[in-house]
Structure 1
Amino acid sequence: MRLLTATVSVVVVLGALAGCSSKPEPAAAPSSTPSAGSSGDAVEPSSPAVLEGPVSSGARWPDGLSARLTAVERVPSSWASDVPRSLVIVRLTLEVSNGTGAVLPVEPMTREMDLLYGPNREEADPVAGFSYPDPAEGRRKGLQRDGGTRIPVGGRATFVESGLVPAGAVQDLTVQVKLPSADGIRDPFTLTGVGSVVKTVR
């Protein structure tokens, strides 16, 4: 009887030891992404500034350069050659003010504006103008004018460009202003709501 009791005791002790030796479940690895409330929050990269705004506010860049459309005009088709009846001429006059600390070089015969029309912002075709023997008539009807080859510090320059757009799209115009930079390439500025300021010239 004493032998049987000792045997049972040994079995109970061994069973208890076997239960204690089982390995615990591995702990879940901590997430590498910090929680929203932790002091080490992941910082989202800042999105680039959107260079777009209403035509009434004009265009402005961080370095101090600014530009505004002083005139948006629908001019007679007779001022250019071979204009289809389905299209109209829109003439843009842009005044640029150099508030930067550097002279801005301007490439001759470059376009400082892209005239866009419609909800998809399709680019208008440029217009070829006439040659006017009378200087006064040329100034009044000129469809393109360069603002010189440089814009001095604190100075201004005026550019005139024209485009052909469908007659039904005159009220839905956008202008992308593309100006030079003294160092590298300048991001264009998009002026919206340009169709609301169109005036008809006769």
Structure 2
Amino acid sequence: MQLPFPLVEDLDPFAVEKGRKLFDGANSDFLKGVVAMSGLPPSDRVEVCFAGRSNVGKSSLINALTNRTRLARASNTPGRTQEINFFTLSDSHYLVDLPGYGYANAPLAVVEKWQKLLKQYLLGRANLRRAFVLIDTRHGIKAVDEEIMSLLDSSAVTFQAVLTKADKVKEKDREKVLKQVREKLSKHPAAFPEIVLTSSEKGDGLAELRAIIAGLD
């Protein structure tokens, strides 16, 4: 019997090659940082976004996916990045890095501004094909993660869980985390029914994630 929310494994070689070509480092560039809806680029290509609490490893994952060491820059201060950052992939895709969430020490007015912009973005991008919600494999899904998942549910945006830093967790402990993640995801109607397990340092799951993105249209 197959588990609900299985791990993505054994992808078609053609899909993997399509993903590799899309994410060739020479084709990836930073486009712009956006602080208001008026600054969004045209909705003229396939778009995917990455969401996750601060320090989950979003910048590291984007850099690893694109084979670029400094394409996405992580701030030394958690919660500092307040922009929606757009990256281009060839002439066909946008990668979008959403502001990290989950730091209560950010000023309330700043948090409210983030939340308003995020809601407007999720509701207003017809070309947004999927959101990838990054979950630290060491900690599983936390309450702040469920908040963003509920927002994606209400926005009718399909999201897929991507577990980061998988190399930091022993296999026996990883299974406990996967069980918790599957239980939490089952409560969210917008959750895509497969999980991607990744390690930016080891390269695990990168080919699978590239193939998934390349296959969206």
Return the TM-score normalized by structure 2: 0.25
- Which structure features the higher share of strand residues? 1
Return the TM-score normalized by structure 1: 0.26
- Which structure features the higher share of helix residues? 2
